[in-house]
Amino acid sequence: MKKIILLLIVAAVVAVFAFDLHSLLTLDSLKSSLGKFREFQAESPFMVAGVFFAAYVLVTAFSIPGAAVMTLAAGALFGLLQGLILVSFASTIGATLAFVGARYLLRDSVQAKFGNRLKAINEGVEKEGAFYLFTLRLVPVFPFFLINLLMGLTSMKAFTFFWVSQLGMFAGTVVYVNAGTELAKIDSLSGILSPGLILSFVLLGIFPLIAKKVTDKIKARKVYAQWNKPAKFDRNMVVIGAGAAGLVSSYIASAVKAKVTLIEAHKMGGDCLNFGCVPSKALIKSAKLAHQMRHAAKYGLHATTPGFSFKVVMARVHSIIKAIEPHDSVERYTGLGVDVIQGYAKIIDPWTVEVKHTSGETSRLTTRSIVIAAGAEPVVPPLPGIETSGYLTSDTLWDEFAKREELPKRLVVLGGGPIGCELSQAFARLGSRVTQVELADRIMVREDPEISAMAMESMRADGVNILTGHKAVRFERRGEQKILVTEHQGSNVEIEFDDIICAVGRKARLKGYGLEEIGVETNRTVITNEYLETLYPNIFAAGDVAGPYQFTHVAAHQAWYASVNALFGHLKKFKVDYSVIPWATFTDPEVARVGLNEQDAKEQGIAYEVTRYGIDDLDRAIADSDAHGVVKVLTVPGKDKILGVTIAGVHAGDLLAEFVLAMKHGLGLNKILGTIHTYPTLAEANKYAAGEWKRAHAPQKLLVWLGKYHAWRLG
Ligand SMILES: Cc1cc2nc3c(=O)[nH]c(=O)nc-3n(C[C@H](O)[C@H](O)[C@H](O)COP(=O)(O)OP(=O)(O)OC[C@H]3O[C@@H](n4cnc5c(N)ncnc54)[C@H](O)[C@@H]3O)c2cc1C
């Protein structure tokens, strides 16, 4: 239907030009026909006014050139006041019809093409669209019809468009209608607007924008009004928290010779080193080896049940933390020029941070800027009985298990997200009887169903009892027995356990260090703008505390923006770029992703094509007896533009890097296909995926002709 309407409109506009109808709307034609129009007008003034009004609406609604001439005609025929009223309403109604038409006919396809990438534009339009439209309307050099059509593609409300247009076009309309009252003196349309007049319009147009910027500045200053700014500062920057975000922020500050203090209350390196990425990956490695020993027959060796001491396995995990610790240590950072304090930081005012040192004393530092990098902590669901269940989280399990001689026998893992899956599989592979409980109907819900099914199948094969659609409701103790009661399809399902790990998510640390007292806005995280500024433009947030992603590499990425904006924002500010964010879940198969997957694309209404390459076909994967998994690439239909990639398979996290680079730098699958990949490597999977895409886009008609050409050459 939309296509038919669009075709009819295009045909109508073409007809106007083909039959030279638009030449009726030129200055010369107006001047020569004015006498006739005046005669009609003398006979039936209301009808002429009505027909003029309707014609004006149609010309503007169909974006036919000639509105300027018609505005002059209004002045000539109806005089300043009546002409002004007629044109002012007709032009706004016509413009709004064009706006609504563009929205109805084109918006969906534009949205499907650009999807989430329009989000920033739509947000901008929501915030300041009326101001921009007003400016565009006021300055009559911007093409009238283009503004109508383009605005229709944004999320601006039709009513807003109507009244801002009516108001914004008023001054220009006065000038043109007034000029029309003295039509005989006008030789050309361009003569109506002198450079001086255009400049006045421009100034008038940008005035509301400037006024808004000034108001914003005043508002920003207002948040500081209740505080006394120190005359001098001890530091250029104070960073709260020495996890990935805090370490990188302070590293950058010291590298550019700023005076920076990094305050850490607990362990240098934060969650990633001490409770997160590092220990979990160390455990996963031991578990993988145990798994391979059990399945050694796959490699032509005798399968064996791995004999090991759990205490030694956990000691290895801690020794690996120790081995990496120097990278994040006080010594290293002090050596880099960072002033490191071990203690608990509290923000007292926008320029003062109080530190309760581990030694017990308290001190205060004044600083030009603050970077909040306080991280996140595990969510503990408030279930009845949980406090006495002896539950563990990623914060406590590494130390608790290090004390044990024995592997947990019956382990429950609450949560089917990445952390829950990694831990479930690792403990199952080491020999625990693991039950994983997930409320949703599948694990890894952010990934496409086929990918979570792949992970689920592999984890089940490793012995993980995955219970999806199970809601944990309470904990019970019956004598020595510990029981988790879950609800599944209306019935209670009881699960006995020796240990339970809560891995149902992580929440930003927001309490206890002054955010509430000074009024830094928070919801689930610290609220920041695109420069990572909080309500106070000299206080920034980065990492898990700021969200929206909870990854070490994103924390480090944000740290660059937070520290550079904190130190140099008065000269130039940078908007944090989330356009290409990769991540991986280190289960076996690993699941790695960058950009969109199918479920995201559907949710966001973005058109896509899928190309799959099965890793079961890859020589190196076959040689390694690891021939399973998939490379799944989403591209813009008919175009060599990558929208997103999911890889499931061995070393998927490493394989993804090539696609991350490609997306970051706008390279397509042709470029990956044209790049030599070493044989035999797993990385060849990427090239073969690109090959699949190329095959699907081969020019079939041309190939038929090529076949004929070669047949002809045979003689
Ligand atoms: C089990 C597990 C596995 C994970 N695996 C991965 C993975 O494979 N890949 C990945 O990218 N991410 C992984 N993550 C997530 C990753 O650990 C986090 O995204 C990352 O640590 C966030 O860094 P951050 O600097 O924001 O916060 P954190 O590392 O949490 O650092 C914040 C620091 O601030 C300190 N602090 C808080 N308040 C104060 C205060 N008032 N004064 C002084 N100090 C304070 C805390 O003590 C802490 O050390 C994993 C997490 C877990 C739990």
CA-CA distances (angstroms) from residue 473 to 85, 417, 552?
Answer: 68, 19, 32
| Residue in 346, 552, 561, 656 to alter for ligand 1 test, most ligand atoms within 8 A of Cβ | 552
Say how far apart CA 177 and CA 183 lie, in whole Å: 10
Tokens representing residue 76 in the block: 């000539």
| Residue in 272, 275, 522, 540 to alter for ligand 1 test, most ligand atoms within 8 A of Cβ | 272
- pLDDT reported for residue 270: 98
The residue whose C-alpha atom lies closest to atom 2 belonging to ligand 1 is 276
Handedness of CA 265, 267, 273, 275 (dihedral sign): negative
- pLDDT reported for residue 127: 75
266: left (phi over 0), alpha (psi -120 to 50) or beta: alpha
| Residue in 277, 342, 427, 590 to alter for ligand 1 test, most ligand atoms within 8 A of Cβ | 277
Cβ of 552 less than 6 Å from ligand 1: yes
How many Cα neighbours within 13 Å face the side chain of 330?
10
Torsion of CA 706, 707, 712, 713, to 10 degrees: 70
The backbone torsions φ and ψ at residue 637, rounded to the nearest 5 degrees and listed phi first, read -50, 125
SS (H, E, C) 92-120: HHHHHHHHHHHHHHHHHHHHHHHHHHHHH
The residue whose C-alpha atom lies closest to atom 19 belonging to ligand 1 is 551
Say how far apart CA 576 and CA 574 lie, in whole Å: 6
How far is ligand 1, taken at its centre, from the CA of residue 63, in Å?
A: 56
Give the type of residue at 35: G
Residues lower than pLDDT 50 in the chain: none
Quick one: how many helices (H) and strands (E) in the chain? 25, 20
Say how far apart CA 21 and CA 469 lie, in whole Å: 67
Q: Other C-beta atoms within 10 Å of 292: how many? A: 16
Tokens representing residue 555 in the block: 């924390």
CB 102 within 8 A of CB 155: no
- pLDDT reported for residue 205: 62
Atom index in ligand 1 nearest the CA of residue 268 equals: 49
CB 100 within 8 A of CB 151: no
DSSP annotation of 180: H
CA-CA distances (angstroms) from residue 31 to 86, 162, 266?
Answer: 20, 31, 84
Helix, strand, coil abundance in the chain, percent, nearest 5: 55, 15, 30
- pLDDT reported for residue 207: 65
Cβ of 515 less than 6 Å from ligand 1: no
Cβ of 244 less than 6 Å from ligand 1: yes
Q: What is the per-residue DSSP string for 319-352?
A: HHHHHHGGGG-HHHHHHTT-EEEEEEEEEEETTE
Say how far apart CA 207 and CA 131 lie, in whole Å: 9
Tokens representing residue 539 in the block: 């206080």
Question: Which residues are CB-contacts of 203 (< 8 A; sequence separation ≥ 6)?
Answer: none
Say how far apart CA 287 and CA 429 lie, in whole Å: 5
The residue whose C-alpha atom lies closest to atom 10 belonging to ligand 1 is 551
- pLDDT reported for residue 666: 96
DSSP annotation of 392: B
Tokens representing residue 77 in the block: 């025929």
Instruction: Quick: pLDDT tens for 648-692.
Output: 999 999 999 999 999 999 999 999 999 999 999 999 999 999 999
Say how far apart CA 355 and CA 363 lie, in whole Å: 5
Neighbour-count burial for 50-80, b at 16+ CB within 10 Å, e otherwise: eebbebbbebbbbbbbbbbbbbbbbbbbbee
CB 357 within 8 A of CB 496: no
What is the Cα 228 distance to its own chain's centre?
A: 37
How far is ligand 1, taken at its centre, from the CA of residue 376, in Å?
A: 6
Cβ of 280 less than 6 Å from ligand 1: yes
Cβ of 591 less than 6 Å from ligand 1: no
The residue whose C-alpha atom lies closest to atom 38 belonging to ligand 1 is 374
Q: Which ranges of 591-651 does DSSP label H, i.e. alpha helix? A: 598-603, 619-623
Say how far apart CA 487 and CA 470 lie, in whole Å: 6
Say how far apart CA 357 and CA 695 lie, in whole Å: 64
Cβ of 585 less than 6 Å from ligand 1: no
